[in-house]
Structure 1
Amino acid sequence: MTNTNKKTILVTGGSGYIAMFIMIALLKKGYRVRATLRTMSRQEEVKKMMAQGGISDFTDLDFVQTDLTKEEGWSQAMTGVDSVIHVSSPTPLQRPDADDLMVKMAVDGVKFVMKAAKEAGVERVVLTSASGAVLAGHKDHPEIFTERDWTNLDAPINAYQRSKTMAEMEFWKLAEAYGIEGASVLPTAVMGPILGNDFSHSSAAIKNMFEGKMPRLLNLAFDYVDVRDVADLHLLALEKKEAIGQRFIATSGQNITYKKQAEFLKKEFGTKAKKVSTQVIPDFLVKILARFDKSLAMPATFLGQNTACSNEKSVKLLGWKPRSGEAAIIQTAQTMLDLGVIKVD
């Protein structure tokens, strides 16, 4: 018998990597979950991946169809919902061809969600933003980045960072205008266990390393975070009073270069990682190649820039306890190997 006293949480972009782990965490904690999908035919695929994450009972999960580019469907999605976790946004792996379209999709999605939330009387909305809304466009920023920082929209930044920044700005503006309790979670590079063929754009680099598709590495370092810890931080932002009106960076606190990442993958996996390269490509060559290779366009904007972020606020204010970045990266590789996502000879 279904417990009608359970709170219902709407999670947008239910087929996404982060969203699925949030949904798993919510179900395990006794919430009812409604997930939005752009294509309803993906329901069984999502359930199969969630089963891989430990969910066997889907009684408290249902799906509804919505689209970031259309207002239709969002009011229906909000019916009977207590709170919302808005994860859905175009990522570098599923981005539209036009940069301005990527920004428009992200901002419009926030507008549709917040308007429908207000009309449905939803009290709290948690937005999945990104560290890209904090640290992009700051070539001269030697200090560690915190939630007080915002991406410099006047700098020549990539469309993904621009979309995340402008969407979060719109979110805070509408939260205030509509009187909705808001909180935002800003993940750094997301790693951790994968559940199938749908994983983060950050973890795609691990697959490429193992398959020898990254013979030279970029001279870059990023903060990393386990996807399970990202999900936990969303739940803390959802439940805790202290989270209202606050941004929270999700990072292990470890800033790791691609070279260092390659070195501990080789150490951990031995012959399985024989194609993993530790050779670094010079910055000037990356800048030239980025003109012709779209996949290098975004990382090239971070060459020569500090990207280290602080997790002090998330840890102290909400009691969040993240795993190490190294453990998250190893977990990505291990599950990719276990599920046959990485093809090794």
Structure 2
Amino acid sequence: MSSVLVTGGSGFIGAHCILQLLEAGHDVRTTVRSRKRETDVKAMLKAGGANLLSGPGARLRFFEADLEKDAGWAEAVAGCEYVLHVASPLPPHAPKHEDELIVPAREGTLRVLRAARGAGVKRVVVTSSFAAIGYGHKPRTKPFDETDWTDPNSQGLAAYPKSKTVAEMAAWDWWRREGGELEMAVVNPVAVFGPVLGPDYSASILLVQRLMMGQLPGCPKLWFGIVDVRDVADLHLRAMTAAEANGERFLAVAGEAWPMVRMARALRERLGEAAKRVPRRVIPNWMVRLVALRDEAAKLILPELGKVKQMSHAKAERVLGWKPRSNEEAVVATAESLVGLGLLGDYAGK
């Protein structure tokens, strides 16, 4: 089987990619910003069922490399046939200036692509986001697909979607001009849910955690495209090897967008007593705007209140045979894993 580098193995998507690659028989490498994270990654993989002492798990190697530095990347990619570039720089706090997100995202992606080309890697699969597709547009009923792009210059665009858009655009531009024989594909996930492997997880998981712990008084009028992390990893592996995937981007979404209140209902219906604290009521927009006057988290969601964005995974299904799990399965699996790992404290079922 092939040797594959997964950047950002300590991340939610990265860890699931490693699990599926090991299961498929590949030799896997992963990068961490510090070797201190190696223990964390191993714990996550163990939670996911990997035996790191024998069998497939013994084929995992760690390399120290930071997206903001050149050191370590040549060694990490040497001898690899494929690279899954999943890592994305995230500052420990909200950036004071958008360039704190944009510059590392763009330069980090280009750094990985250059290292891959230099090492003779066959293909890089870049993890982008729906944030590079569905923001800065006028309201529409037509589902978003891979032909759509977020306008990075649209007024009021937040730093995160701008960073993902700029980074992906830079990747395609570099690949067309300087990629040479290097192949490239891009995966654009929506909000990623599914089984958590440890306490290091994304904002979408935090949403389910807060719902389960009763930390939200109700559900704002927010809609989410949903996809299970196991299906995101599966799509990466399909895009890695399928000849038809070269030069293409693939939107990773399970089905129609769900309002938050529908997510809450699914949790209550499927988890019973453990979800007794999940709110039932919908919070009106005026109340969210009032809260946003003193709450930064509430302020961030204001631009998306009431916006329903539908998306299509028809291309991934047609070209790669990808068939994702349902919205409900993804959301419920998130909560079940949080309960199973004791990440809800004393809240679950009490």
* TM-score category of the 2 structures, normalised to the smaller one: over 0.9
**Residue correspondence of structure 1 range 309-320 to structure 2 within 5 A:** 309-320=311-322
* Residue 164 (structure 1) aligned with residue 159 (structure 2): no
Tell me the CA shift for residue 94 of structure 1.
6.9
Deviation at 1:164, TM superposition (A): 0.8
TM-score (norm. length: structure 2): 0.93
Distance in 1 separating the partners of 2:240 and 2:331 = 26
Moved more, 13-22 or 152-161: 152-161
- 2: CA distance, partners of 1:338 / 1:79: 38
Aligned residue number for residue 67 of structure 2? 68
> Are 2:4 and 1:9 equivalent residues in the alignment?
yes
CA contact 1:92–1:201 (8 Å) conserved in 2: no
Pair 1:175 & 2:175 matched: yes
CA–CA distance in structure 2, aligned partners of residues 342 and 35 of structure 1:
29
Q: TM-score, normalised by structure 1?
A: 0.94
For 1:194 and 1:214, locate their aligned partners in 2 and report how far apart those are by CA, in whole Å.
Answer: 21
Q: Which amino acid aligns with 2:176?
A: E
Cα shift at 1:181: 0.9
Counterpart Cα distance in 2 of 1:318 and 1:105: 31
CA distance in 2 between counterparts of 1:139 and 1:288 reads 25
The residue correspondences of 1:147-296 to structure 2 (distance < 5 A) are 147-153=146-152, 154-177=154-177, 178-179=179-180, 180-290=182-292, 292-296=294-298
Equivalent-residue separation in structure 1 for 2:295 and 2:75 (angstroms): 41
CA root-mean-square deviation? 1.7
With over 3 angstroms needed to count, the CA separation of the structure-2 counterparts of 1:77 and 1:304, relative to structure 1, is same
Check whether the contact 2:223–2:306 (CA below 8 A) recurs between aligned residues: no
Q: Deviations over 1:137-164 (max 9, x none)?
A: 1232221100000112213122111111
- Which residue is equivalent to 1:103? 102
Task: Give the equivalent residue in structure 2 for 1:3.
Answer: none
Taking a change above 3 Å as real, the CA distance of residues 280 and 61 of structure 1, as seen in their structure-2 partners, is same
SS of residue in 1 equivalent to 2:304: coil
Unaligned stretches of 5+ residues in structure 2: none
Alpha-carbon offset, residue 283 of structure 1: 2.0
Aligned 1:28-47 pairs, distance under 5 A: 28-47=23-42
- List alignment gaps of at least 5 residues for structure 1: 1-5
* 8 A Cα contact 1:91 1:201, kept in partner: no
CA gap of 1:186–1:92, structure 2 versus 1, over 3 A, is: farther
| 1:298-313 map, 5 Å | 298-313=300-315
Q: 1:94 to 1:341 in 2, by over 3 A?
A: farther
Map of 2:16 onto structure 1: 21
What does residue range 328-343 of structure 1 map to in structure 2 within 5 Å? 328-343=330-345
The Cα shift of 1:214 comes to: 0.9
Q: 2:65, 2:97 → 1: CA distance?
A: 21
Matches within 5 A, 1:69-84: 69-84=68-83
Q: Secondary structure at the match of 2:339?
A: helix
* 2:58 aligned counterpart, secondary structure: coil
Counting matched residue pairs gives 340
